[in-house]
Structure 1
Amino acid sequence: MSAPPRAAPLEGVHVLDLSWVMVGPASGRYLADMGADVIKVESSKRIDPVRTLGPFKDGKMGPERSISYHNLNAGKRCVAIDIRRPEGREIVLRLTRWADVVLESFTPGVLETLQLGYSDLKRRNDQIIMASTSLLGQTGPYAKGTSGVGTMGAAMSGATYQIGWPDREPTGPFGPWTDAVTPRFIVASILAALHRRSLTGLGSYIDVAQAEAGIQFMMPAYYEYAANATIPERCGVAGSPLQIPQGVYGCSGEDRWIAIDASAPTHWDALRTVIGGELRDAKFDTIIGRLRNRAELDKAIAGWTHEQGVEAIEHRLQAAGVPAHVVSGSGNLVRDVDIIESGYLNKINDPVFGEAEIEGPRFSLDRTSLPATRRGPRIGEHTKEVLATVLGMSETEIAQLDEAGLLA
């Protein structure tokens, strides 16, 4: 008989989330998924901007109706505190004594001005692990005062320049790209810091620059210039210049596409067998021949895919052992049988807008259980609960703070 699942891996870990928009909140969401108790600090006087970005359930705008907010902050608690006032900052510092981890994504220098920087927090809790994320990190000639979101991070990392057609302006990756990739680095660093603290008792300060996280994905372009003084230019098509056939090909129907990578010899032989026709020409027998005649080969493949439905092509090529997949749109992902079967999308119920679907945990663990996916918190939903149970404040003390306008 197998042993029953153990508690979630981060059960008992306390996280104070001072971040907003995407990269910091997404990092906190990962920690909540692993069982950490995450308290988000917000204020109705200056709400998290992602509450204004949507998409909004049923198309009705409102700070409590943003599905993006719920997705990034699922499973957290929320306290409303005006941290610009000394009394509000004192509450945050007291929460620091409770916290194991603090997340923040302010423009460098802002928290120090508010006396909530790492040195201030460390005086209250010398074992604290603090993770800061900004576009260029906390140090360096351009870091201080540089603000922005992952769209700027993509440009700074070099990703924006690489994407698009050679005769047009750069288009860049979709959305605030480094906001999406940076949490992977932040969470891994926090887990390492928690492990280190368990061995040494020492806290840590983690400084993650979004641009540097993006550069990790752009190193081939960087080394091309470092090694050969060559700047890779936009080529407008998917795939590597040294691998063929590899790319995206149009199919029948409106805006339907299939991604194919048959660059390996066995995959090429299988694709050639399935398509036949022009692909049997002797000039395509070798990789050199295929590279020299790339445009003609791609045209022949596109001519074959153009006449067929994308799902039928995917099934036929995969059955033959050729790596191929539909280029998915949002509708495809919602209906994807593997995503549905894995439980990746979870339903939440919210008192404001009712039922909606958001992402569940991005991973599963066979020896530990994970907490059920919960909706994101409303602004200040847990303020009194946290002040009473975490800080031990009386009802009278909480009421006085509320009357003074600190808890809004």
Structure 2
Amino acid sequence: MTQPTHTPALAPQALEGLKVIELGQLIAGPFAGKTLADFGAEVIKIEPPAADGTAGGDPLRQWRMLHNGLSVWWQFQSRNKKSVTLDLRTEAGRAIVRELIDQADVVIENFKPGTLEKWGMGYEALSQTNPGLIMLRISGYGQTGPYRERPGFAVVAEAMGGMRYLNAEPGRTPVRAGVSLGDTLAGLHGAIGVLLALQARQRSISPEAPKGLGQVIDVALYEAVFNCMESLLPEYSAFGAVRQPAGSALPGIAPSNAYPCADGMVVIGGNGDSIFKRLMQAIGRDDLANDAELAHNPGRVRRVAEIDEAIGAWTAQHPVDHVVQVLNDASVPVGRIYSAKDIAEDPHYRAREMIVPVTTHDGLTVEVPGIIPKLSRTPGAITRRGPMLGEDNDEVLGPSAR
């Protein structure tokens, strides 16, 4: 096996000894699996074998830009995992998966609700032989409720969760963020749920349940998005206020916006009381810095157009580098708007090991995002590249699986 080109952490990892069976495909479930695998969990990814002229495997293997027929995205989403090919549509394939699950701590699945039950692999059935099993179930609308059987993708979840409505310029068509945030947010919530369930299982250990008791974690894509919508619902509930799209601004918090420079744009967050005063002094507007009405956020919100105009007039006269330098020197939060090229060339990303090179099975070096969060005593590590389809069949199932 080709190893990553960086040296993995030598310290013990937080989730060493945890065995996870990943049944999910594409983004949400596998992102949760990746998060657990980054910290030492043994994640066995079950993929459909090639058959009837199909390539087989997780469809993500063929998404976006490919190298020799394999997505380079795969090296991030499926690092540290093992790949086993089994056909869950057959009883023989399901029987083998049940045996693997009997020895596992966690199952991750993101099928349409009811699919596993149809196959005789619902939680009630699986927990009969493995009462300590934790099952993470990610779906568009959750396992219950009137919408449970609807197909759900991140694009719909972001709309239902309130994100798309806000993500637009006033009066313009809502746009997507450019990545599948709904899936990733659901994956993160799912990983958190697994860790909570593991803690609860540990506390439930008894003579009758020597491994502790497992449970089901039900994550809906739209709920993961909705959970991040801050004041959206409380403001409607309290005041009947429907928050409206505001482009790059942050309504009710001022100043916080994107501003044009002579050669690009920057974002500036000058919404703290002392920060605002330093910002105004840095751009030569002592009159606004010393204006008593602008000393606190409510007054600044009332005059946000005037403030934004003053900031924009100053930034437009200078290149991005100058604006960033001046405001950093004044301890005002400011930043350029990064492209992939900017990220790859930024020294802070590399100093924090957030850009990590891995080598694919055919020798291509690909830089992928590093591991987060950063643990001081039991850090995560990248120890395996994204596996080829069925690469670990022999190891997990034995040579007879060929």
Corresponding residue of 2:136: 131
1:276 CA drift (Å): 1.0
The structure-2 alpha-carbon separation of the partners of 1:207 and 1:286, relative to structure 1 and needing over 3 Å to count, comes to: same
Residue 349 (1) aligns with residue 356 (2): no
Q: 2:6 maps to what in 1?
A: none
Structure 2: runs of 5 or more not aligned: 1-8, 205-211
- Tell me the distance in 1 between the aligned counterparts of 2:11 and 2:357: 24
How many residues are treated as equivalent by the alignment?
379
DSSP-derived class of the 1:28 partner: helix
Contact 1:150 1:175 in 2 (8 A): no
Q: Is the 2:111–2:139 contact (alpha carbons within 8 Å) kept by the matching residues of 1? A: yes
**More divergent stretch after superposition (345-354 vs 77-86):** 345-354
TM-score, normalising length: structure 1: 0.87
* Contact 1:314/1:324 (<8 A) preserved: yes
The partner residue of 1:336 within 334, 346, 365 is 346
Indicate if the aligned counterparts of 2:141 and 2:152 stay in contact, CA closer than 8 A.
Answer: no
How far apart are the structure 2 equivalents of 1:239 and 1:77? 43
**CA offset at residue 80 of structure 1?**
0.6
Q: CA deviation at 1:173?
A: 3.3
For residue 286 of structure 1, give the secondary structure of its aligned residue in structure 2: helix
Alignment counterpart, residue 42 of structure 2, candidates 16, 24, 37: 37
Mapping of residues 76-87 of structure 1, within 5 Å: 76-87=81-92
Correspondences of 1:135-214 after superposition (within 5 Å): 135-144=140-149, 146-200=150-204, 201-214=212-225
SS in 2 for 1:295: helix
Question: Once structures 1 and 2 are overlaid, which stretch shifts more, 133-142 or 219-228?
Answer: 219-228
Quick one: distance in 1 between partners of 2:333 and 2:192? Answer: 30
Task: Give the % identical residues.
Answer: 32
Whether the aligned pair in 1 keeps the contact of 2:265 and 2:337 (CA below 8 Å) is yes
Over residues 356-376 of structure 1, what are the superposed CA-to-partner deviations in whole Å (9 max), with x where a residue is unaligned? 111222122222243334211
Match of 1:53 among 52, 59, 63: 63
Equivalents in 2 of 1:322, 1:6: separation in Å?
A: 38
- Give yes or no for the alignment of 1:12 onto 2:17: yes
Indicate whether 1:275 and 2:283 are aligned: yes
Partner Cα distance (1:7, 1:21) in 2: 29
CA distance in 1, matches of 2:289, 2:184: 45
Residue 363 to residue 18, structure 1, CA distance change in 2 (3 Å): same
The 5-angstrom pairing of residues 251-262 of structure 1 reads 251-253=261-263, 256-262=264-270
Which residue in the other structure is 2:127 paired with?
122
Q: Distance in 2 between matches of 1:19 and 1:363?
A: 23
State whether residues 281 and 289 of structure 2, in contact with CA within 8 Å, keep that contact through their aligned partners in structure 1.
no
Q: What CA distance in whole angstroms lies between the structure 2 residues aligned with 1:106 and 1:291? A: 46
Post-superposition offset of 1:165: 1.8
Q: Do the aligned partners of residues 160 and 37 (structure 1) sit closer, same or farther apart at CA in structure 2, a change above 3 Å counting?
A: same
- Pairing partner for 2:80 from 70, 75, 79: 75
Which residue of the other structure, out of 249, 256, 259, is the alignment partner of 2:259? 249
Partner Cα distance (2:196, 2:273) in 1: 41
Query: Contact 1:246–1:261 at 8 Å: present in 2 too?
Result: yes
| 1:54 counterpart letter in structure 2 | R
CA distance in 2, matches of 1:28, 1:81: 18
What secondary structure is seen at the aligned counterpart in 2 of 1:237? coil
1:239 equivalent in alignment to 2:243 = no
Aligned-residue RMSD, C-alpha: 2.1
Query: How high is the TM-score relative to the length of structure 2?
Result: 0.89
Q: Which one-letter code corresponds to 1:221 in the other structure?
A: L
Q: 130-139 vs 222-231, which deviates more?
A: 222-231
Q: Note the alpha carbon deviations across 1:121-155, whole angstroms, 9 max, x for none.
A: 213312111100011111111112x2232111101
Give the letter for the 2:203 counterpart: L
8 Å contact kept, 1:259–1:327: yes
SS at match of 2:267: strand
Deviation sequence 1:33-55 (CA, Å, 0-9, x none)? 11011100002344312122123
Q: Shift in Å at residue 281 of structure 1?
A: 5.6
Displacement of 1:103 in angstroms is 0.2
Q: Residue 285 of structure 1: CA displacement?
A: 4.7
Query: In the TM superposition, what is the alpha-carbon distance from 1:353 to its structure 2 partner?
Result: 5.3
Q: Alpha-carbon deviations, 1:333-369, whole Å to 9, x = none?
A: 1112111001112111112352111122212222224
Asked whether the 8 Å contact 1:361–1:373 carries over to 2, the reply is no
Change (3 A) 1:361 1:326: same
Q: Which amino acid aligns with 1:274?
A: A
**For the structure 1 residues 234 and 80, does the alpha-carbon distance in structure 2 shift closer, same or farther, using more than 3 Å as the test?**
same
Q: Which residue of 2 aligns with 1:218?
A: 229
Alignment partners' CA distance in 1, 2:289 and 2:152:
54
Amino acid at match of 2:266: I
SS of equivalent residue, structure 1 residue 39: strand
